[in-house]
Each structure stands twice: as structure tokens, then as C-alpha cells.
Amino acid sequence: MLQAAAGGLLTETAFPDRSWWPMAFVGVALLVLALDRDSPRWAGLVGFVWALGLFVPHLYWANEAAGVLPWLALSVLQAALVAVGTTAWALTRRVPRLNRYGPLPAAAFALVWAAAEQLRSSWPFGGFPWARLAFSQTEGPLLTLAWLAGAPLVSAAVAFGGFTLAATLTLVRAHRLRSAALTAAATIALPLAGAAIPLDTDPQSGTLRLAAVQGNVPDDDTQGPSRSRVILDNHVAGTLALLDQVAPGDLDVVLWPENATDIDPRADDDAWRAVDEAAQALDAPILVGTDRYIDAGRYNDMLLWEPGDGPTFSYSKQRPAPFGEYIPLRPFVRLFSAEVDRVSIDMIPGQEPAIVPILVPRLDRDVPVATVICFEVVYDALIRDAVVQGAELIVVPTNNASFGFTAESTQQLAMSRLRAVEHGRATVQISTVGVSAIIAPDGSVLQQTQLFTSDQMLAALPLRTSLTPADQLGEWPTIAIVALSLVALLSRLVTTLGSSRRDRAAIASGATGPAEPSSELDRRSTQPGAGTRQPELDDADATAN
């Protein structure tokens, strides 16, 4: 168990802020080694402990935002879903030829792992895909695999590499050095393959001249309307400060973050005048983050604000964050924490794609921009839908003010970087408090701000229209991963049911001895000391599977 816990902790160091990406391989390898008993219950417990080592430190920002109980509850829930995956692997590896170390078992483990990540990404309450292995690789060569098939392929590659690293260590201990060398080569080949993928960053339909304004929030305990007004004034001031660097009319658009004004300028005359003052001074539209309240709840909107005309287009967030922006099962959850009532008005999901068309007179056309708000960046399909429907650039407006100086913002930046590569689009993450960044289509960070500062970024970013293989494949990699995992798991269950029927038939016919085990692994399980699984280490098996 200590080995599993250490593996989870090491895996967490692969994510921001440390970003020691090779540690993801080491952490997964320790998990694989800890899973060597032939017991689904043991595998579930090991996976749970490993995942606690990952999620408890990784999600510490939830403690900053909501307190100890929600932080630990979220960590435990995610760990339990990882345990489902490791239990499924314990059953899957009983399939003949998957109960050894080698490329085929490594591929099966990678598939099961990616399928388990998909479970976390979709359930419960719409899923919580945070801490997918793919998001640990933004500083490493595997990032480019996102261009081929998105986050599922990157996560599967990390899982594959962790498995083959564990196999290498086991083979060395067993003095199977030739097999160890070949297995180690498979581990090394993955990063080399990723590094060999060329990524195009050139403009395909012109460039967009933009500014991104990080206005910051008050550094005291000011709350309510006064705080909201200060935040709005900060973003107006940051926008006007751009005039020291550009002339009116030089920019195609100015980007503000999510909740740049909690005072809806559509409903408040003073807020209207403040936003329009900034837009007219720059002679450029502003993408404004605000809330819209109706009797049934509220929407989280990004408005396109044209100078003198006001809001001409609005996108409403499609995936509100459960327990952060709306409270599922509110009466039940309140039994455990009164903190749920801090979210007094539930957010309502929008129904339209995350695209805002920005009229750019210089290009004589509308430029469709993907505007995924805050946590929406973590959901694969939402961003892909916007790109497939024509988005030429990605903007991630976010508000990280509740998370203090934790790694939440840089974790989100890693996701934005992966999305840039996955879709071949320049990407801008713009936050109220940071970290904000401008990202090239190859995932490299061109500019970056610091936390809790006022800052502005200027850039002319390439507009791109071609679809990456990941965009063209769409949901098929995920469907294939889940389907193949289920086939492997079901094949084992069918074998188990067949063996049980033979046992019952043998008993009914009066046989006194046990039925013949149905597989090599079952034969080993009937031997003394079979409570610990000992993988096959034959050279031919380790290299040919």
C-alpha cells in the first residue's frame, strides 16, 4: 500500500506547478507493480490508495475555495472511480495472454485506464475530468499525440509507458535482460514518436490582433456590489491602459475574463457606460464575462460588446460546475455542509455551441472564436464541437479568484495548452487574477502573467481553419477505447461463467475433483501461495505479446 500511495504522490508531481512529466510514468509503474496480486478486491484497494495520493494534493485548491470537507469528498469520489478502473483491470488481465508483461498486456492496461478516465469524465453530474494523465504532459514530448487523437490517446500513452516501465523493472529483477532491454525500448519509443510529429502553426486565414486584460480583484475582504464594481473598474482601467501601447482602431478585439463584471451591463446603466467607455476608447469590440439573472436562476455569459452599440452576441456556459455553480441534491448535501448555501442561485446551462462571431473589418468578415468558459476547457467534446463548427481561435475566459495561490490556474493552463495542440488553434487563457497566457497552436506559451496582478497581453495570433486528425476522428477514439476495454472484460466474465457451469456440471455428475482450470492463470491460482500473482517472464512472452 505504501508503494501505491507513493506512486500517486509521484504522479501528482508530473502536473503543474512542478510539471515533472516523467514522474507520471514512474507513478503509474509503481501502481502496476502494486497490482501484482490476482485479486480484484486488492486491485480496487490499491487503485483507491494510489488515487488518494494523487487527488488529495492535486485538488487542494478545492479546500481553498470551499473548505476541507468538499475537498476531501471530491478526492475520495475521484479515487473511488479510479478504483473501479483498477478492479476492471484485475479482471481483464485474467484473459489468456493478458496475464503477463509485454506489449499486448501494456496496450490492454492503457485501454482500460483510458476507459476509466472516460468514466470520470462523464459521471456523476456530468463528470470531473481533472487530473487525467494527459494533462501532466504539457512539458513533455507526448503532448503532440493530442494532435492525433486528443487527451484519450495521451493518457493511454502514459499508462502504456508506465506499464512497460514496470515490466522492465520486473524483468531486470528476474535477470531477463534481453526482454528488459526490448521492453525499455518500447517505453522510450513513445516520447520519441511524439517528438517526431510536426505541428503547423502558420496562419491559414489571416491573423487576429487582440489584447487580453487581467484586471485583478480587491486585495481586501470587500464583498457584494462594492467588490463587483471594483473588479469592473479594474478591467476598464486595464483596457484604457492599452492606449499606452496601441492606437484606437489597432485591435480587432479586447478579451476580458469570466466575471470581469458581476454587474450585468445589460441591466445596469452605470456598468453599461463603463464597458462602452472602454470599447469606444479602443475603438474595438470587447468580449465581456458577466452573469445574467432570470427567475429560474442565472447564466454565465460571454458578451460581444461593440463600441456604441453594446452587446450584439452572447454565449452562455453549457457546463456549469456542480457544487461550485449549482448544487445537485441540495437538501441532501446540506446535511453535510452549510457551505452549499453560498451558491444561493443555481446556474442554468446554455444550449448553444461555444462560438462567438467577431466582425473584423480589416479581414472583411466574421471570425468565429471558441469561447469555452473556465472549467469547460476540461471537456473534450464541447471544445471539439466549436472547432468543427468553424472556430479559428480558442479563448478560455476564467475566474480563479477563489483558489488563492494554489495550482488550480496553472492546472487549467495545462489543459488550455493541450487543447491548442489537439485542435491546432492559437489559444488565449484570460483570468481575472491569473494565470493568463497566450498559447501558440503547438502548445508553447508565448506570454504568461502572474497570479493576483493587473496585467495586459498583446498579440497577433494566427487564425486557422484546418481540422486536426483529433477533430476529424471526433468521439471514435473514446468509443474504441471503451469498446475494446469492455470486450476484454466481458471475455473474462464469459470464461468465468463457463468455468462455473463446468464445475456445477461436474458436481452434478458425481465427480469428486475440481474442474480443470480454464486458463494458465487459473492453474496458478490453484497452487499454494497463489494469493500473489507472479507474472510470466519468459523471453518470448515478454517480447511477442
Active-site residue (options: 12, 117, 317, 376): 317
Alpha-carbon distances of 10 from 55, 136, 244, 458, rounded to whole Å: 11, 11, 46, 37
Name, in order, each residue with C-beta under 8 angstroms of 73's C-beta and a sequence gap of 6 or more: 336
- Helices 146-173/103-122 angle, 10° precision: 130
Nine-digit cell string for 404 = 488563492
CB 28 within 8 A of CB 161: yes
CB 164 within 8 A of CB 104: no
Edge-to-edge, what's the strand order for the sheet holding 286-294?
A: 310-316, 297-306, 286-294, 253-255, 207-214, 455-462
Active-site residue (options: 374, 376, 392, 408): 374
277 is catalytic: no
CA-nearest of 305, 383, 302, 391 to 350 is: 302
Active-site residue (options: 12, 117, 258, 376): 258
Burial of 450 per CB tally in 10 Å (0-12, 13-18, 19+): exposed
374 is catalytic: yes
Nine-digit cell string for 172 = 531486470
Own/partner pairs, 513-522, CB within 8 angstroms, 24+ separation: 519/94, 519/95, 519/96, 519/99, 519/495, 520/96, 520/99, 521/38, 521/93, 521/94, 521/96, 521/99, 522/94
Residues in the chain, how many?
A: 545
475 is catalytic: no
Question: Which residues are designated catalytic?
Answer: 258, 317, 374
